[in-house]
Structure 1
Amino acid sequence: MPETCRASAPRSPAAEPGPVPFFSQEATFAEVWPTVRAHCRDVINGGRYARGSKVAELEEALRAWTGARHVVGVNSGTDALVLLLRAGGLRPGEEVIVPAFGPAATASAVRLARGRPRFADIEPAGHGLDPESADAAVTPRTRLLMPAHLGCQMADMAGIAAVARRHGLRMVEDGARAIGMRWNGVHAGLLGLGGALSFFPTNTLGAIGDAGAVLTEDPRVAETVADLRLQGRAGRTLDHVPGLSDLGVPIRVDSRMDDLQAAVLLAKLARLEADIARRAELAAGYTERLSGVPGIRRLPGPVPRDGHGSPVHHAYLVEVEDRDALIRSLTAAGVGSEVFCPVPLHLDPRFAGLGHRRGEFPNAEAASATALALPLYPDLADDDVERVCDAVRHFYTGRRAA
């Protein structure tokens, strides 16, 4: 989800219906707090607060949950991408193909790893990296493909893998929001060299601050990421990392996961399957109520593909007309919302030096102009979904539901 979290104050269950915040986990924490407290007591009593026993415990739990051979906890989803790119052999100045729609962290991670983002368009439905556009974007300097799994399903991994094979490229996955998503039973992040997870609070599995992890089947990738997060371990150097001596700047410092964040994640991981199921119920409720509403151009839903597994709704992303006016109307009605990607990344001023022009990636530009995330999280009540949909209908039709 977005890089910042703007959650309204939580509502009291006994109060009259109040605002519907974009995100809240008050009820979740009321349920998991005894477990969180026990884990935190272990951390405090153990006296080790970063990359300690709780991080190791979480890594093992994530290995079991995802089926990954290796999991390495780090301090954020962005650092997970940066370290994964370095472990994937990216050298300074080499290109990584990334989608032109999505959070800026996907492309920023390439720059932080001293690579060069090479943008490609997205598919109009599903918002995943478009294999044909990615194929056309390949140049002699391209080293890696990095699809990002947005919406409620993985990108077209069969098509993207075919591009990688055709051009002899390696593939890593930005699975920041993809925990629980699978392709032919294989968890997101395990179809190439590895994948990155983000545990930002609004994500499907969220901490109470920043945290992330790298998933991989490759022991060399796992070992390199583990080395990089600590700037090398005792008795080891970083000479085995390709291109690292060419960076010209100190390597990133302290990419370790905080044990208190690991404690929270361990408690919430125990209810992740139930949370994913609840998100699916809420998404179905939105789709039922918003289908046919004028002004809504596209509702989220899985795109039929060979190999696609069950969707995971980390967000409910609609494409709408008059988005800014709708946001103002929702805000006045006490309904939170978020703009997922207000500017397509190839037109973002942060990447102006890459020389892109408007019109190059029309699907990304259209999504950036119309996509809006509505509240979707396990604490949301069915009545809240009705209130959100009522506010949307009222904006477009001028009449409230009976």
Structure 2
Amino acid sequence: MQTPVTAAGGLPRQAVGRRPVPFFTQARSFEQLWPLIERHAVEVLDDGKFSHGRQVERLEAALAEYTGARHVIGVNSGTDALVLLLRAAGLRPGDEVVVPAFSFVASASSVVLAGGRPVFADIDPVSYALDPAALAERLTGRTRFVMPVHLFSRLADLTAIGALAERHGLTVLEDSAEAIGMRQGGRHAGLFGAGGVLSFFPTKTLGAIGDAGAVLTDDPELAATVAALRHHGRFGRTIGNFPAINTSTALPGCNSKMDDLQAAVLLAKLTRLDADIARRAELAAGYDERLAGQPGVLRRPQVGGIEGQVFYVYLIEVERRDDLAAHLAGHGVETEVYYPSPLHLQPCFAELGHRVGDFPVAEAACTRTLALPLYPDLTEAEVDAVCALIRDFYAGGPA
């Protein structure tokens, strides 16, 4: 899942009285990691294998150790990871997959690309994830899969969703693209159902310097199928860590292999992932303290007390969202809107026949939510500056 469009354009050359605060940068941390990245990159050059090579296999093994997954299959993006997971899990043409109406478009377009039919359901107003009660209302005789999305800083209600899926004989697949490091009961996101995915888009908690992704699963057959699909459906050779199954191209696959240079960067960044997650939590706590009781801020994310919480994004709900975003941009602070329009109202899903008002919680979130800068390179002074500008805006203070 990639980052959505910028809410308020690029940064001005000079912020008024303050340093610009980008929505995301990894310049400082990248500089610190450069010696290790360079070493891994030189290994790629020495190997002469730039795709689907030794660095990818090393990353798959390291991610398996970190997440506890029995199988990790590196691919070229989080979106392709979703498509391949759906296909490998047995999605047939016309099968219905229930997905939340509030998410990045890939959560639903992947279903279409895999040959299925997305069915939207409303979200929980606190977690922004698929509401189990809304899910129950959207099940039909054609529903075969449910795909919750873990957004921003917490897991979906996997206990309730899993129980509902079991009662109706549904397969749970997780869009856990944002959820690296999130766990519940010791189990990592993506491993509560048949499988899940990770995205390594640059802004993610573990980000590459381009597109990359992975499929997580404990099912060896599903893993082998994904591994073949990413490489043109070729089962007739050893594919990564997966043994050959036969000698022919048994499936119509695609070219979704991960680049080794991306794997080289991710291997280096994985060494500081837990420290980065801790730093994100500190910054989120800083925002929470400064914005507590702030007029105009309708909702802040819960900080602490949530099992497995990882802050990929610090998302607030605010009054006059677009005006606030413009105010911050005018003072050099970039923000993001997650997400500008709910999925059921996107033109690409018009044939499903939805109208405004069908999923009111998702629609309301699209008008009020704003993501503030949050990444390990952010400083406490920059958090102070962002919050001061929010206070000024709602107080009608100086421009």
Question: TM tier, shorter chain?
Answer: over 0.9
Q: 1:368 aligns with which of 366, 369, 375?
A: 366
Q: How does 1:5-24 map to 2 (within 5 A)?
A: 17-24=18-25
Q: How does 1:316-335 map to 2 (within 5 A)?
A: 316-335=314-333
Structure 1 residue 63 displacement after superposition: 0.5
Q: How does 1:342-381 map to 2 (within 5 A)?
A: 342-381=340-379
Match of 2:213 in 1: 212
Question: What amino acid is the match of 2:326?
Answer: R
Question: Contact conserved, 1:228 with 1:238, CA < 8 A, in 2?
Answer: no
Match of 1:256 in 2: 257
Residues 240-293 of structure 1: per-residue CA shift (max 9 Å, x gap): x6xxxxxxxxx4531000000000000000000000000000000001001111
Question: Contact conserved, 1:100 with 1:361, CA < 8 A, in 2?
Answer: yes
Structure 1 residue 5 displacement after superposition: 7.0
Q: Does 1:3 align with 2:3?
A: yes
Structure 1 residue 9 displacement after superposition: 7.7
Question: Contact conserved, 2:191 with 2:216, CA < 8 A, in 1?
Answer: yes
The secondary structure found in structure 1 opposite 2:371 is strand
* 2: CA distance, partners of 1:399 / 1:291: 19
Q: How does 1:82-93 map to 2 (within 5 A)?
A: 82-93=83-94
The secondary structure found in structure 1 opposite 2:310 is coil
Structure 1 residue 3 displacement after superposition: 3.3
Match of 1:399 in 2: 397
Match of 2:312 in 1: 314
Residues 227-247 of structure 1: per-residue CA shift (max 9 Å, x gap): 1000122344464x6xxxxxx
Structure 1 residue 349 displacement after superposition: 1.2
Match of 1:169 in 2: 170
* 2: CA distance, partners of 1:332 / 1:17: 11
Structure 1 residue 174 displacement after superposition: 0.3
* 2: CA distance, partners of 1:210 / 1:2: 9
* 2: CA distance, partners of 1:148 / 1:55: 26
* 1: CA distance, partners of 2:64 / 2:283: 28
Q: Does 1:158 align with 2:159?
A: yes
Residues 328-366 of structure 1: per-residue CA shift (max 9 Å, x gap): 101101100001111011111121111111111111111
Structure 1 residue 310 displacement after superposition: 2.7
Residue ranges of structure 1 left out of the alignment (5+ in a row): 242-250
Match of 2:226 in 1: 225
Question: Contact conserved, 1:287 with 1:299, CA < 8 A, in 2?
Answer: yes
Alpha carbons of structure 1 residues 238 and 134: separation in structure 2 relative to 1, 3 Å: farther
* 2: CA distance, partners of 1:386 / 1:256: 42
* 1: CA distance, partners of 2:148 / 2:93: 20
Residues 303-335 of structure 1: per-residue CA shift (max 9 Å, x gap): 97xxx6231000001111111111110110110
Tell me which stretches of 4 or more aligned residues in structure 1 moved more than 3 Å.
1-11, 235-239
Question: Contact conserved, 2:231 with 2:253, CA < 8 A, in 1?
Answer: no
* 2: CA distance, partners of 1:9 / 1:177: 25
Q: Does 1:340 align with 2:341?
A: no
The secondary structure found in structure 1 opposite 2:59 is helix
The secondary structure found in structure 1 opposite 2:327 is helix
Question: Contact conserved, 2:11 with 2:334, CA < 8 A, in 1?
Answer: no
Alpha carbons of structure 1 residues 309 and 174: separation in structure 2 relative to 1, 3 Å: same
Question: What amino acid is the match of 1:3?
Answer: T
Match of 2:242 in 1: none
Q: Provide the alpha-carbon RMSD of the alignment.
A: 2.0
* 1: CA distance, partners of 2:193 / 2:154: 17
Residues 113-161 of structure 1: per-residue CA shift (max 9 Å, x gap): 0111000011000111100111110111111000000021100000100
Question: Contact conserved, 2:284 with 2:303, CA < 8 A, in 1?
Answer: no
Residues 58-95 of structure 1: per-residue CA shift (max 9 Å, x gap): 00000110111000000000000000000111001111
Q: How does 1:2-401 map to 2 (within 5 A)?
A: 3-4=3-4, 17-233=18-234, 234=236, 235-237=246-248, 239=250, 251=252, 253-301=254-302, 309-399=307-397
Question: Contact conserved, 1:152 with 1:311, CA < 8 A, in 2?
Answer: yes
The secondary structure found in structure 1 opposite 2:118 is strand
Residue ranges of structure 2 left out of the alignment (5+ in a row): 237-245
Alpha carbons of structure 1 residues 115 and 228: separation in structure 2 relative to 1, 3 Å: same
Question: What amino acid is the match of 2:262?
Answer: Q
Question: What amino acid is the match of 1:146?
Answer: M
Question: Contact conserved, 2:69 with 2:191, CA < 8 A, in 1?
Answer: yes
* 1: CA distance, partners of 2:12 / 2:297: 28
Alpha carbons of structure 1 residues 385 and 200: separation in structure 2 relative to 1, 3 Å: same
* 2: CA distance, partners of 1:223 / 1:298: 43
Question: Normalized against structure 2, the TM-score is what?
Answer: 0.93
Count residues with an aligned counterpart: 384
Alpha carbons of structure 1 residues 142 and 189: separation in structure 2 relative to 1, 3 Å: same
